[in-house]
Structure 1
Amino acid sequence: MLNALEVFTTVVVGVMVGVEFSVAFVMNRIFNALPGDGGQLGRAHGGRMLGAVMPAWYITSLVLVAVRAVAGWGRDGTGLVVTAGALLLLSVIMSVLLLVPINNRGKTWTPENRPADWKQQMNRWDRYHYVRVAVIVAAFTLLAAGLI
């Protein structure tokens, strides 16, 4: 049963990390290269779509890692799993305090109602997101190392 939990946890966290990595290094670059208002509209749509899904995904990942840490207490690698959980908790805190407020504004913007500094706000979101991606990649790395 513990093995099944470990596999499921690894897949859930790993896919989440992959999505966030893709947003940072693929999707946002595509959006930034679109002509006219396409990039801003793409970001707004992505903010609505992923903004609805990612909070549950982050919390589920954190809970699964915590359950694995408790269930595997005393086993080799549990310290790494606990550290991975701490990093996932940090990513949730970063999200709530830094990224979600910008996303909540950006997902409502259209070319007609966006503020004059919308690009600066998106650039700030990108910088925070790069840091968050580094944190969750580190968490995933520690999780994987702790489970093998």
Structure 2
Amino acid sequence: MRELLGAVAVLGSGLTAGVLFCVALSVVPALRALPPDRYVQTHELLGRNYDPTMPLIVLTTALVDVLLAIMTPAGGPRSLFAVAAVLTVGVSLVSHLCNVPINRRVKVLDPAAIPADWADPRPVWRRWHLLRTVLAVVALAVNAAAVAVA
């Protein structure tokens, strides 16, 4: 059972890190290059499938890491699974407390009526996104190390 959960932990953290890395590498620069009205339109389109899927993957991965930390005998990679769980919960917290509120503010904007004093959220969103990307990549590395040691 631990081997199966280890595979799920690596798969989940790999998907999380991969998606966030892809967004950081390609999507964020593309969105930054768009004028505000096109950014708002594109932002809404991009979020449709990420929003229901990514929280499920991230939270399931964190739960699996917690289970592995509990199930792994002392002296094994128990602490590595615990660290991976904390890092993955960090991804979720940054997403829900920082990126998601910005997303909600953008989604209610009318692309045809962007206010003249509009505060462009893209730089702040990018910084929070980079933090969660780093957390996700480190969680993947820790999960991989834990599974390798186990």
TM-score range, shorter chain: 0.7 to 0.9
TM-score (norm 2): 0.85
- TM-score w.r.t. the length of structure 1 is 0.86
Q: Look up the equivalent residue of 2:104 and give its one-letter code.
A: N
Distance 1:100 1:117, change over 3 A: farther
What SS class does the counterpart of residue 120 from structure 2 fall into?
helix
In the alignment, structure 1 segments of 5+ residues that lack a partner are none
Q: Which residue number in structure 1 is paired with residue 57 of structure 2?
A: 57
Greater CA deviation, 20-29 or 47-56?
47-56
Rounded Cα–Cα distance in structure 2 between residues aligned with 1:27 and 1:115: 24
1:34 positional shift: 4.7
Residue aligning to 2:141? 141
The answer as to whether partners of 2:12 and 2:58 remain within 8 angstroms in 1 is: no
Write the letter of the residue equivalent to 1:49: N
The aligned counterpart of 1:99 is: 99
> Quick check: 1:31–1:40 contact (8 Å CA) kept in 2?
no
**1:21 Cα deviation (Å)?**
0.9
Contact 1:45 1:107 in 2 (8 A): no
Q: Percent identity?
A: 28
Structure 1 residues 106-135: Cα deviation after superposition (integer angstroms, max 9, x where no partner) = 233341244446562122111111011111
The answer to whether the aligner puts 1:126 opposite 2:126 as a matched pair is yes
Which residue in 2 is equivalent to 1:87? 87
Aligned to 2:45: 45
Aligned to 1:10: 10
Indicate the SS of the match to 1:74. Answer: coil
Say how many residue pairs are matched.
148
Unaligned runs of 5+ in 2: none
CA RMSD of aligned residues (A): 2.1
Task: Name the CA distance, whole Å, in 2 between partners of 1:12 and 1:133.
Answer: 14
Q: Report the more deviating stretch, 100-109 or 137-146.
A: 100-109
Bigger shift: residues 9-18 or 107-116: 107-116
Equivalent residues of 1:28, 1:43 under 8 A apart? no
Alignment of 1:111-122 (within 5 A): 111-116=111-116, 120-122=120-122
Letter in 2 for 1:82: A
Name the CA shift for 1:15/1:118 in 2 (closer, same or farther; >3 Å). Answer: farther
In structure 2, do the counterparts of structure 1 residues 118 and 19 end up closer, same or farther at CA, with 3 Å as the change threshold? Answer: farther
1:18-29 equivalences under 5 Å are 18-29=18-29
